[in-house]
Amino acid sequence: MKMEERVILRVISGSAKGHKLKTIGGKETRPTADRVKESVFNIISGFVAGARVLDLYSGTGNLGIEALSRGAVFSLFVEKSRECILTIKHNLLHTKLSEKSSVMAMDVFTALDKLSKESRKFDIIFLDPPYNKNLVEKTLKCLVESDIIEQDGIIIAEHDLKDEVPQEAGHLKRFRYQKYGDTAVSFYR
């Protein structure tokens, strides 16, 4: 019988550097590995300080918390799983970043509609949907329609290497693509 593997996540840099983040066992979530996260943040390092961040399909809150630790002024986490929401809130308290954040407990598409109606805007948007469900393209289209991306905003989509993701979605164009084993990351502007 194989023991369930538990991923150990940590905040890599910034005010909460070194803090371990609580994760969720099982196959429902697939947290962004530290090496992928470190690479992504090296690529977007010039955009993080002072940014307003939207972390879609948040899981453990790993990406939005890293952004806060590195100087983002605000992160909004969108997640529908109750267990994930509790984990995000725990991780925010543990890293002392709760005051710079908010959690929306709902489906991503419902949240995007609500944010659009509130005329909210974000500088950095992370999306890490469940793999093999073609959610990257659907989410990108919804992001374009919702008009919540700042003019110079950036979108970072993590996906399975086999997932088909578009080169373009509305005015968004993929400007960078990175592979990390079975994981790929697409960057849009």
CATH number at residue 150: 3.40.50.150
Residue for token pair 């509305």 = 170
3-state secondary structure of 160: strand
Res 3: pLDDT = 35
pLDDT in tens, 40-88: 999 999 999 999 999 999 999 999 999 999 999 999 999 999 999 999 9
pLDDT in tens, 131-178: 888 899 999 999 999 999 999 999 999 999 999 899 999 999 999 999
In-domain check, residue 3: no
CA dist 49 → 46, 66, 80, 163 (Å): 7, 11, 28, 31
Which residue segment(s) compose the domain that 170 sits in? 9-188
What share of the chain has pLDDT > 70, as a percent? 94
Domain count, the chain: 1
| pTM (2 d.p.) | 0.94
Higher pLDDT, 139 or 6: 139
In-domain check, residue 2: no
